[in-house]
Every structure is written in structure tokens, then in C-alpha cells.
Chains A and B, each alone.
Chain A
Amino acid sequence: MAESLIRNVWLIPLLPLLGGLIAILGGRRLNGWNHIPVVAGIGLSFLLSAIILLGMEGAHETEAYSWIGIAPTSSAADPSSGPNGWSLVVPVEFRVDGLTIMMLTMVTFVAALVAVFAAGYMVGDPGYPRFFFVFGLFVFSMTGLVSSSNFLLTYAFWEGVGVCSYLLIGFWYAKPAAAEAAKKAFLVNRVGDFGFAIALFLLWTYAPNHDLSYANILTIETRDALANTELLFGQSALFWIVALLFWGATAKSAQIPLYVWLPDAMEGPTPVSALIHAATMVTAGVYLLARTSLLLAAEPALQMVVAVIGCATALLAALIALTQTDLKRVLAYSTVSQIGFMFMGIGAGVGHIAQFAIIGALFHLFTHAFFKALLFLGSGSVMHAMGGVIDMRRFSGLRHRMPYTCWTFAIGALALCGLPPFAGFWSKDEILASLKAAGHDEHVASGGVYTGIYWVATFTALLTAFYTGRAFFLTFFGPEKLPSPDDPEALGADDHHGAHASSDHAALGVDTPAPDSPELSRYEAAMGSHRPEVGSHAPGASATPHEPASHGHGHDDGHHGHDSHFGHESPPIMTVPLMVLAAGAVLVGILFGPPTHWFGHLIEETPSFELLGHGEHAFDWGTAVSGTLAGLIGLGLAALMYARRTEIPARISALVPPLAKASWNKFYVDEIYALLIVTPTRLVATACRYFDVYVVDGLVRLVAFVPRLIGGDALRPIQNGLIQSYAVMTAMGVALLLIVLMFVG
């Protein structure tokens, strides 16, 4: 069973795609059941992945079909033989190994649950079929990305997830903030994809046989060959390839300097944030670096850069998350921060602990998917109940109204804080331990840097626990309060946010277009009949938050009895996925982590990982204790400050006003980018526009004028319809060609 499945692993990406196609082609005919084919497709894919996972031995590669194959001729096989050795072989090949099957199982599991959740969350949205189509398309791209067996196919799917992310962030495209966010995400990702593409060009140029398959590239021989090819500025081809791959990874995985798109991406529907922007797509960069860790391991300087970037990102994002009031944004920055941890783990893959560090980073990727998806879905549940409001200043004390959401969220929060025995503890501990070991390894040059990173990471863990606790207590503890349109924050009137287009709409509630949007009427018309207004006592109807996924009255869609959830717990279709994920967030650490080493053994079944250094590594009690202490202190502080409403936070921020303000304004990174990159780009764009209008268009007009001249005036005497003249012209042509040829050579 497992063997035949391994040969047909392409089924796993295909099933969600089929489900998505059925969802969109069925359209309204499916009568609101469009989620069924997608959930079924992803669920089946998960089953197949699980079967392969249990029955797998070693790595396999299968070629599904060769798209185009121009083989190099035997005499011209070596790349130095110039253009005649150029070949073009594009096989569509998939692989099954430890890393791939781990990613496949995780992605399909989380995606299946998120799809179930979304079936409840998105009910009544006019774009319901479209949502599930893109959802299926995304799972197709993501599973294809992790199961493809050559760089070219990986790149194609890499772009595929980028497109799906664009489509899903901008799902409510009528809302300007969502459209802006989608555009921003796409453009920032393009910057990264550019690096990835150049890396592929270099690989293709210098790899033996121009073969981009992992089996060819990820070997010691190829690595040495690349390392011995000098390319630019005295650095080898290997250096540039790894650097460019890292560049690509920073964009997809939202690291400094390209993390800015992820917080804004929260404009998309919450299930999308949970799936794409927390659990799966953003980890694609980590996956890519882990996949190519063999190449990375030969460039210690770049590994250091990876670790430092990861560390800086983790710290910066954690500092920003301290003061954000938008629950989803706190989680978004927390995602950026946690992926920073993963990058630290990848960067610590030096010396004899290389394999241990990579496994640690991947384990964190694995556990993070569970608890971060849980947290996002929990926030979605809150948002669902609060009528689309996600600003933590406008609600509090929800623990009695939403018990399931509250306690599952608590589990996710504890896992994120990294307290034992929750999943996050085990994986964070492995990363910290490998950082510490890298710092103490005498074979590693400048191990001191790693020690520094270790302490910053521990401090970041403290901050993580603090902001997580803050978000949890603000939302679920304190006096019970529900959002009302009279809230001072409701109109986005506060000065801080006034400057940022995207932020002030977020304060309005994710589902509501800006009041003055020209698209509003169209949007209202589309949504209107499906969305009964909540809090209709509000004076300004334009600012009234709409329930994001309210169920239309009298819908015959099998979800009776949930006409309005305002202020109430979400229906079971949403809370059950929360509980399943919560169980995962508790258990996956103990079941698969260091206590059993099951995860480590699985990942070791990846061919190129065997070539990494793998010394013995014992469980490090010191790191475990200090990491846990950091988490406890952070959580304790948060409980002290926010569990009951006190004046402490206000006093603290009054103590260090510039710092608090900077954090509140996200350290002005968006403004700095606007000044340093967007403005010059706009200037260049304006210049280009003038160049385009006056120079290029002028040239085009000239070019278009010439054929008119030729066709109209110059050729008319020749193209005159007379046979004699045609024959004469032909004869003269022959004569001319003869004369030219006689005098050449």
C-alpha cells in the first residue's frame, strides 16, 4: 500500500486541487456546500500522507512525467563546453523523504482543520466558492512545493503559493486596505523571488549536467564543485547561490528586511491568516533553507548571517508585539518572531551539531504550525463573536461567554510561551540548546556570537511569554465588555493610526470597507443580503461593524440555529477544530519530541541530512530551566499587569515614552521603507513614465510609422498587382543574392 502510494505521491497535491476545482465549477449549484469537496480532498491527502508516513523506509524519488527533455549530447556533457552543452530537462518529479513527508502531513492536517473552521467562518460570504477554490489551489501549491524533487518545480510551486496568498489576502478585494495589503505582500515577495530566481540561474549554469534535481545538487561533489568556482568579488558560486536562496527565504518567511508584508496580510479572512500566514506558507523559506542546509553548511559566514537575521527579527517583532492592540496583529508579529527562532536554529547548524540544529528548527516549524494555527483560529472565533471587531481595547473578559475559545486559546498561548510540557517548549528548547552548543563548540569560529544570540533569544522568549499573556488576559480576563459602535477606537479616530491607511481600517473591523470607499456601495450590495447588521442601534451605519460570517436567515445550508453569534460562542464546526489543534499543541511535543526522538529519526531519513555533522547531543537541563524561567517570568508579569485592570502598563509606558511609542508605531519600519524605498521608487517610476510617454511611445510611433511608409508608399509601386513586375522583382532578387554570395567568403 505504502509503496504504491510513494510512487504516486503526486496524488497528494492533486486531490486538494481537484476539490478546489469542483468547488468553483459547482459554484452556486452546490448550494453553499462548496467546502465539502475541498475538505474531503485535503482530508484524503492527509490520510495518504499519514499512510506513507507510517509505511515509509528511506527516501524515494519518482518522476511523474517529463515536461521537456533536451538531453545534453554525450560529447558536450561537461558544463564548460560552451553553448553546445546547453540542455533543457524539466522533469516533473516528486520525492518522499523524512522532511517532505513531515511537511506534507503537517500541511494537510492543519489545512484540513482550517478548512473545516472556514466552512463555518465564511458562511454567507458571496465569494464562498471562490474562497474554497483558492484554498484548494493553495494547498495544492504548498504540498507540491514540499514534495517536488527539483529546484525548478519547487520554484514554480513557490510562485504558486505566492499567487494564492495574493488572492487570499485580497479576498475582500472591494476593501481598499485588503487590496493594498495583497499588493504589498505580492510585491515584497517578488523581491525575494527575484533572489531565488537568480540563485536558480546560477545553479543551472554551474551545476553538473545543468541538472537541477535535488539528487544532483545536494551532494558533497556538487557542493565542492560549486565552492571551487569563483564567481564575483572573490566569492565562490556556492556563496552567492546560498546567499540568494537566503534572500528568497527572507521574503517568503517574513524576516528582516522583508517581513513588512506579513502584519498587513492580516487583512485577509482569519482562516487564511491561520493557514498561510502562520502555519504553512511562511515556513516555506525555512523549508528551503533546511532542504539546502548541506550547501549552507559549507558557508559558515552565511550561517552566522542567517542566525543574526533570525535573532534580530525575533527580537524586533517581539518588541513590536508588546504594544499592539489588534489581536491578529499581535499574533502576526509573534509569527514573524517565531520564524526568527527557526532561522536561528538553521543558522546554528554548524560543526558537529549541524543535524541537531536543523532538526530543532524543523521541529519548531512543526509545533508552531499547531499552536499558531490554533491561536489564529481562536482569534477568528473571537472576531466572529465580536462582529468583526478585533481591537483588544474594545472587548474584554470573554472567558465566560466563550469558554471553548478561551481555554483552547490558553493552551495555544502556553505552547507559544514555551512552558513545559506544551509543544512549544520542546522545540524552542532544542533551538536554544543548539545555539548554546554552537557557542561552546571550539571548532566554530566566533562562537561568541552564537552565545550572544543565545541570550538574546532567551530574552525574546521572555518577551514572547509577556505579549502572549497580555493578549490572552486583555481578551479573556478583566471586566466583561463587548464592542459597541460608541467606542472611541471604533472610528479609527486616534492620531496614531490616522497616518496608516491599513491600520485604521483594521480598527474598523476587518470585514468592513472604509467608510468613504467608492467601492463601498458595490461591496454592500454584494454582501448586503447575507449580512444582517448587528448593533443596528448604531447611529452611523457606515461605521457599524458587520458580523464577518453571519448566517443568512433561513439559509438552507445545514447550519440552523446560528443566526447571530454576537457575543456568543462560535458553532461546533469552528470550536471542534480548535479543540483538535489544542490537543495537538499539548501533545505533539511530548509524543514526537525529545522524549521519544521520533521526529528526529523521521527527519534523519532525508538523504542530504546524513551528510551533515551529527555528534551526540544530550538533553540540556540548563537551557530547559532558563527557557522555562524566562517564559514564567514573562507570563507572570503579564498576569500581574493585565489580568486585572491596573495602572501599571500606563505608568510603564509613561516611564519610557519614546520606546513605547516606537513599539506602538512598529519602530517606524514602514515609514522608513516608505522614505528609503517607496519614495525613490516612485520617483524613478515617474521618471520612467515620462521616458515611456515621450521616448518609448515616440519610438513606437516611429516604428509604426515606418511600416506604413514601407507598406503604404515604398512598397506600393512594387506590390502593384502586376505579374510581370513580380517576376522581375523575383529575378532581381535572385540576381542580387547571387552577387552577394559570390563576393562573400
Chain B
Amino acid sequence: MIPDQSETLSRTILVLLPEIVLALSAAAIMVAGPFFRRGRSLWAGLSAAAIGASLLALLAVSGSGTDAFAYGSVALNDALSVYGRFAFLITGLILLGLAHNQVGDDRAAEFFGALLFVISGAMLVCAANELIFLFVGLELVSIPTYLLLYLPRRNRTTQEATTKYFFLSVFSSALLLFGFAYLYGLTGVSNLKALAFLMGGGGEVITTGTAAIGSIAVVFVTAGLGFRVAAVPFHFYAPDVYQGAPTVITALLAWIPKGIGFVAMIRVLTSVVSVGEPMLSERAVFLAWLIAAATLILGNTVALVQTNLKRLFAYSSIAHAGYLMVGVAAAFARVEDPANLGPYSGAEGIVFYLAAYALMTLGAFGVILYLEGSGERAETIDDLSGLSRTRPLLSLAMALCLFSLAGVPPLAGFWGKFFIFASAWTAEPIQGIPSLQLLAVIGVINAAIGAYYYLRIVAAIYYGTPARSPAAESRSAAGWPTAMAVGTCAVLSLILGLIPGPLQSASRRAAVAAIGQPAPGTSGPEGEDETETDDVALVRPRPVR
């Protein structure tokens, strides 16, 4: 049967319960902040409790399907949505662990509130099934991020980093909205499932005449999201902002915007374009091909010559955006039958890679934070040399994260690269553009280059001579939440590499759900055909020409 408006609304609110819990807690913490002058541990503890409550809410609602509402609802509760929201909540906890002592008591409430808003925004992006709603989610991440950049340390460098990030972020949002406008103009709908349906066999909106308009939409949306994932040529802010920002916010910037950027690409671009006309999807593959190749090469080669750790990780995160763009290129390729994806799919690779990337990046930044927290210098590679003598466990965690970043089996990063390259390698060749197999080869060569600069850090840690004086007694220990966050990242990187099966099947389900098209209105019993036509007409206005 066809859901009516109020039922759709109530179901949507139910599905969005985890985000609502998180956003309300964030608002409460921010409001309460000025009235209760308490230590930062209170606010950090409350935030952890809020994330825990949100996690419980997510588990509670994870069973309720939304397929029947797909063409009318702003939020979906499919496998991708659950996977992404779960990942952002877990990494939110890790981030909270890393951030728990990074801000002064007086600004703690605002800081942790903003962090919770960022996480809820990221979760909204995962669930979004609507152009406008997706945009709201993206902005709910961006705006608190400006705050976070400036709150912990108010000095000239963070000021500069914040300003740069603010203006360029706004600029990219404008590009994104422009692209969205073209998408809407092309089809007349803003619901993403309906958009995919119309672009595909259902609407025949893409013809030789409108393919150019489709290309404009794809280019601008890619540009807007490409800024968030720091893909070339939208990456310029990344090195400056990463270096200038407080380390914990650098960690956040390296993960959250990249995560939501790629999830949004799966939602708005690949799932919509790959089921549609080959004319458009081929151009989209070429676009992603170009961006991926440029991003890989630039990120990796420039990272080679960096000595500042944060700047190195900035370029390394650009390089990882390149690997993920390889997956996007593969995901753009035309899918004949959304129900049958083939053994390797680009979206699956992206989703797997994102989880692995979150763990290894946050782990590596966590190690730097831990060292900073215990009063040691950790700005350049040389600062880390000989670390294994003084801190064997921390060095092991760093080595695990770096090996995972380099893609050494049997760590999680290896499988991420494997799935992405496999999906590119097995993609059908397309006439007229360079093959995806060549892109996979470029990716593998770049992975080898990447291994060089990661292993340089490992070599410094294990074979370098300690520069600092061995006055080990005086050093203080950083807080246990930081240690736990780092440990979690390293151990999970190893476990997910040794046992990739569960994560891989979850990624597969997410990829299938993202591209799946619930048949409009046929989920109900026969005999209600009139209502069905009404409803389909409701979500399917005539395409605007």
C-alpha cells in the first residue's frame, strides 16, 4: 500500500532519531555551558553519553526499513545509511577520546557541542535521500567545523586556517548548490531515488540535447564535494589548513569531510548516474578518471618531500582521496542491472576503504596527539626518531596505522585498496576514454610511492636515534581516553585486516542498497492502482525541458 504523507513524516522522524538525540544533546550542552562553570571532563563525559544514546537509538531503529517510502521520504534507513551512521558514531567516540583534553575549561561546552553537531551532520548525510536535506547535512558539518577550528587555540595561525577554510568552504558550497540546481532543473525532482529513477530507464531525461546539462550538474556537484574530500584541483586549502589547525581538528578534517564527501558522491552521483544513460555515465567516468589520476599523482609525489608531519598527512589524505576517486570512477561505470552488481563494485570498495581510512588516519593523528599531550615535540619526522626505545607500544600502534595507510597486508588498508583496484580492474572498458585498468595501474604505482613516505616514518621510529635527552622520568602520560582511542584504531586496523569478511559483506550490502531502486508503488497489493498512479504523479512531475 502507498504510504500517506503523515505516515511518511512519522517514519522519517523515527529513522532520524539518532541524529535528533545527538543534535538535541549538542544544543543542550551549548546552552548549559555558560551557566555551569565546570571542568571540561563533564562536557566530554556528557558528549560521550550522548553518542552512546545515539548509538542505542541507531541500533533500535536499524531494523525499520524505508523501502516503501523511498520516493517520498527525505531520509533513508537502508544499509548504507546504517553503515555510515554507525561508522561516524564510532569514529565520533574516537575523536572525542582524542579531543577530551584539547580545549580549555571555559570553552569546553561549545567545543564538545560543536563536535556533536558535526557528527550528527555527518550522519544526516549518510541518511539523506533528498538534495536539500543532503545539503543541510553537509552544512551542519561545515558550520560547527569553523567553530572547532578556532575554539581550542586562539592565535594567528588558527585564525588564518579558519579564515581560509571558511571562505573556500562557502565557495564550494555555492558550487555544489549550482550543481544541485541543474540536477533539479533536469528532472524536476529533488528526491534522490526519484532522481535516479528518472535518469535511468524511467524518465529518459538524458538525451543528446540534455547530456551537456547533465555534465554541468555532474562537474559542479563533483567540484563541491571534491573540495570536502580534498581532491585535485580543489585541494589547495588542505595543506595550509591542516598545518595551521589544532592537531585534533586536523584529524577531524582529515576524516569527517572526506567521509561525508564520498558518501554524498555515492548518494547523489554514482547511484544516480551509473544506472542512467551511458552518454552521461561515460563522461562522469572520465571526469572521475582525470580527478583520480591528478589527485593520486600530486598527493603522493608532494607528500614525498614533506618533513612536517601534519603537512605530510595533509598530502597523504589528498592521496587517499585519489584512491577513493578511483573507486568513484569505477562506480560511475554503467550498471545494467542494479540488483546484480558483479563481484567487485566501486561503491563497495569506497565504503570499505572509508572505514579502514578512518581508523588508520585517526590512529596516526592520535599518536601525534598523545605525544603532544605528554609534552613531547611531534612536528617533524625527526621528532619521532627512536620513539620505539622510549614508547614501544605507542610505536607499534603508529607502525600498524602507517602500514595500513601504506596498504600492507594483512591490514585493513590493504583490503580497501584491493577492493577499489579490483573494481577498477574488472570494469568494462569504455570506448573513447582511457581505460579504468590504466587507472588501477596508476593507483598501484602510487601505492608504491606512498609506501615510501609512510615507511620512512616507521624507519625513523624504529631505526632512528633518539634526538631528545633520555630524561624519560620527567615525561607525563597523556590521558587514558587518548590512549584508548589510539589503541582501538590500531587494533581494529589489524583485526579488520585479518578478518575482513564481516566488513566486506556490510560494504557490499551498503553498495547494493545505495544503487537499489525500490519499484515505485508496487510494494503494495494489487487493486489500489488508482492511488498508485496518483502517488507516482506526485513524485514524478513532468521533466522540465
Q: Chain A residues in contact with chain B, CB under 8 A?
A: 65-76, 83-88, 703-704, 706-708, 710-712, 715, 718-719, 721, 723, 726-727, 729-730, 732-734, 736-738, 740-742, 744-745
Per the bound structure, the CA–CA distance linking A738 and B212 in Å amounts to 9
Q: How many inter-chain contacts with C-beta < 8 Å in the A-B complex?
A: 126
Per the bound structure, the CA–CA distance linking A86 and B424 in Å amounts to 13
Q: Which of A85, A718, A745 contacts B343 (CB 8 A)?
A: A85
Cβ of A10 to closest chain B Cβ, rounded Å:
15
Q: B216 at the A/B interface (Cβ < 8 Å)?
A: yes
Besides the contacts A703-B449, A734-B175, A745-B279, what 6 more A-B pairs have beta carbons closer than 8 Å?
A86-B422, A710-B298, A711-B305, A726-B237, A733-B234, A737-B223
Q: Which of B236, B282, B287, B301 contacts A737 (CB 8 A)?
A: B287
Q: B541 at the A/B interface (Cβ < 8 Å)?
A: no
Taking CB as reference atom, which chain A residue is nearest B218?
A741
Cβ < 8 Å to A, chain B residues 199-226: 212, 215-216, 218-220, 222-223
Per the bound structure, the CA–CA distance linking A86 and B418 in Å amounts to 13
Q: B152 at the A/B interface (Cβ < 8 Å)?
A: no
Cβ of B355 to closest chain A Cβ, rounded Å:
15
A-contact 0/1 string along B227-242, CB 8 Å cutoff: 1000011101101100
Point out the residues of chain B lying under 8 angstroms from A84, CB to CB. Answer: 342-343, 426, 428
Per the bound structure, the CA–CA distance linking A84 and B333 in Å amounts to 13
Point out the residues of chain A lying under 8 angstroms from B163, CB to CB. Answer: 723
Point out the residues of chain B lying under 8 angstroms from A740, CB to CB. Answer: 286, 290
Cβ of A732 to closest chain B Cβ, rounded Å:
8
Cβ < 8 Å to A, chain B residues 434-493: 449
Cβ of A502 to closest chain B Cβ, rounded Å:
33
Q: B86 at the A/B interface (Cβ < 8 Å)?
A: no
Q: Are A741 and B500 in contact (CB under 8 A)?
A: no
Cβ of B168 to closest chain A Cβ, rounded Å:
6
Cβ of A62 to closest chain B Cβ, rounded Å:
17
Q: Are A68 and B501 in contact (CB under 8 A)?
A: yes
Per the bound structure, the CA–CA distance linking A76 and B301 in Å amounts to 39
Point out the residues of chain A lying under 8 angstroms from B415, CB to CB. Answer: 68
Q: Are B283 and A715 in contact (CB under 8 A)?
A: no
Q: Are B343 and A67 in contact (CB under 8 A)?
A: no
Cβ of A73 to closest chain B Cβ, rounded Å:
6
Per the bound structure, the CA–CA distance linking A66 and B505 in Å amounts to 12
Q: Are A730 and B432 in contact (CB under 8 A)?
A: no
Q: Are A70 and B344 in contact (CB under 8 A)?
A: yes
Cβ < 8 Å to A, chain B residues 475-522: 499-501, 504-505
Greatest chain A CB density within 10 A among B160, B283, B425, B432 is at: B283
Q: B378 at the A/B interface (Cβ < 8 Å)?
A: no
CB within 8 Å for A718 and B279 given contacts A68-B500, A708-B305: no
Q: Are B171 and A730 in contact (CB under 8 A)?
A: yes
CB within 8 Å for A707 and B212 given contacts A67-B499, A84-B342, A730-B223: no
Q: Which of B215, B227, B304, B344 contacts A730 (CB 8 A)?
A: B227
Q: Which of B212, B232, B239, B432 contacts A742 (CB 8 A)?
A: B212
Q: Are B234 and A730 in contact (CB under 8 A)?
A: yes
Per the bound structure, the CA–CA distance linking A84 and B423 in Å amounts to 9
CB within 8 Å for A741 and B283 given contacts A86-B426, A730-B168: yes
Q: Are A744 and B286 in contact (CB under 8 A)?
A: yes
Q: Chain B residues in contact with chain A, CB under 8 A?
A: 160, 163-164, 167-168, 171-172, 175, 212, 215-216, 218-220, 222-223, 227, 232-234, 236-237, 239-240, 279, 282-283, 286-287, 290-291, 298, 301-302, 304-306, 340-344, 415, 422, 425-426, 428, 432-433, 449, 499-501, 504-505
Cross-chain pairs A/B with CB under 8 angstroms, 8 sampled: A65-B499, A84-B342, A719-B240, A726-B237, A727-B168, A730-B172, A730-B233, A741-B218
Q: Are A734 and B220 in contact (CB under 8 A)?
A: yes
Q: Are A712 and B305 in contact (CB under 8 A)?
A: yes
Per the bound structure, the CA–CA distance linking A88 and B301 in Å amounts to 32
Taking CB as reference atom, which chain B residue is nearest A739?
B219
Q: Are A707 and B304 in contact (CB under 8 A)?
A: yes
Point out the residues of chain A lying under 8 angstroms from B290, CB to CB. Answer: 737, 740
Cβ of B272 to closest chain A Cβ, rounded Å:
17
Q: Are B283 and A744 in contact (CB under 8 A)?
A: yes
Point out the residues of chain A lying under 8 angstroms from B504, CB to CB. Answer: 68-70
Point out the residues of chain B lying under 8 angstroms from A83, CB to CB. Answer: 425-426
CB within 8 Å for A741 and B301 given contacts A68-B501, A726-B237: no
Q: Which secondary structure dominates chain A's binding surface?
A: helix
Taking CB as reference atom, which chain A residue is nearest B430?
A745
Per the bound structure, the CA–CA distance linking A733 and B295 in Å amounts to 13
Per the bound structure, the CA–CA distance linking A745 and B164 in Å amounts to 37
Point out the residues of chain A lying under 8 angstroms from B239, CB to CB. Answer: 719
Q: Are A66 and B501 in contact (CB under 8 A)?
A: yes
Cβ of B374 to closest chain A Cβ, rounded Å:
29
Q: Are B343 and A729 in contact (CB under 8 A)?
A: no
Per the bound structure, the CA–CA distance linking A84 and B345 in Å amounts to 10
Q: Are B343 and A71 in contact (CB under 8 A)?
A: yes
Per the bound structure, the CA–CA distance linking A665 and B219 in Å amounts to 76
Point out the residues of chain A lying under 8 angstroms from B215, CB to CB. Answer: 738, 741-742
CB within 8 Å for A741 and B286 given contacts A76-B342, A84-B342, A734-B175: yes
Point out the residues of chain A lying under 8 angstroms from B425, CB to CB. Answer: 83
Q: Are B501 and A67 in contact (CB under 8 A)?
A: yes
CB within 8 Å for A711 and B164 given contacts A68-B501, A738-B215, A738-B216: no
Per the bound structure, the CA–CA distance linking A391 and B515 in Å amounts to 75
Point out the residues of chain A lying under 8 angstroms from B426, CB to CB. Answer: 83-84, 86
Point out the residues of chain A lying under 8 angstroms from B279, CB to CB. Answer: 745
Q: Are B305 and A707 in contact (CB under 8 A)?
A: yes
Q: Which of B172, B422, B432 contacts A745 (CB 8 A)?
A: B432
The 9 closest A-B pairs by CB, nearest first: A733-B233, A707-B301, A726-B236, A83-B426, A711-B302, A734-B223, A741-B215, A711-B305, A707-B304
Taking CB as reference atom, which chain A residue is nearest B222?
A737
Cβ of B289 to closest chain A Cβ, rounded Å:
10
Per the bound structure, the CA–CA distance linking A734 and B175 in Å amounts to 9
Taking CB as reference atom, which chain A residue is nearest B415?
A68
Per the bound structure, the CA–CA distance linking A719 and B239 in Å amounts to 9
CB within 8 Å for A710 and B343 given contacts A730-B236, A737-B287, A744-B283: no
Point out the residues of chain A lying under 8 angstroms from B160, CB to CB. Answer: 721
Per the bound structure, the CA–CA distance linking A88 and B425 in Å amounts to 14
Point out the residues of chain B lying under 8 angstroms from A734, CB to CB. Answer: 175, 219-220, 223
Cβ of B526 to closest chain A Cβ, rounded Å:
29
Q: Which of B304, B432, B499 contacts A704 (CB 8 A)?
A: B304
Greatest chain A CB density within 10 A among B232, B342, B433 is at: B342
Cβ of B510 to closest chain A Cβ, rounded Å:
15
Per the bound structure, the CA–CA distance linking A732 and B239 in Å amounts to 20
Greatest chain A CB density within 10 A among B172, B219, B227, B426 is at: B219
Taking CB as reference atom, which chain A residue is nearest B170?
A727
Greatest chain A CB density within 10 A among B222, B501, B505 is at: B501
Q: Are B344 and A729 in contact (CB under 8 A)?
A: no
Per the bound structure, the CA–CA distance linking A703 and B449 in Å amounts to 10
Q: Are B282 and A76 in contact (CB under 8 A)?
A: no
Point out the residues of chain B lying under 8 angstroms from A711, CB to CB. Answer: 301-302, 304-306
Per the bound structure, the CA–CA distance linking A742 and B415 in Å amounts to 36
Q: Are A733 and B282 in contact (CB under 8 A)?
A: no
Taking CB as reference atom, which chain A residue is nearest B498?
A67
Q: Are A727 and B167 in contact (CB under 8 A)?
A: yes
Per the bound structure, the CA–CA distance linking A6 and B292 in Å amounts to 51
Q: Are B234 and A741 in contact (CB under 8 A)?
A: no
Cβ of B129 to closest chain A Cβ, rounded Å:
27
Point out the residues of chain B lying under 8 angstroms from A76, CB to CB. Answer: 342-343
Point out the residues of chain A lying under 8 angstroms from B171, CB to CB. Answer: 727, 730
Point out the residues of chain A lying under 8 angstroms from B237, CB to CB. Answer: 726
Per the bound structure, the CA–CA distance linking A53 and B501 in Å amounts to 33
Per the bound structure, the CA–CA distance linking A742 and B286 in Å amounts to 11
Q: Are A87 and B227 in contact (CB under 8 A)?
A: no
Point out the residues of chain A lying under 8 angstroms from B223, CB to CB. Answer: 730, 733-734, 737
Per the bound structure, the CA–CA distance linking A726 and B240 in Å amounts to 11
Per the bound structure, the CA–CA distance linking A408 and B119 in Å amounts to 75
Q: Are A72 and B343 in contact (CB under 8 A)?
A: yes
Taking CB as reference atom, which chain B residue is nearest A740?
B290
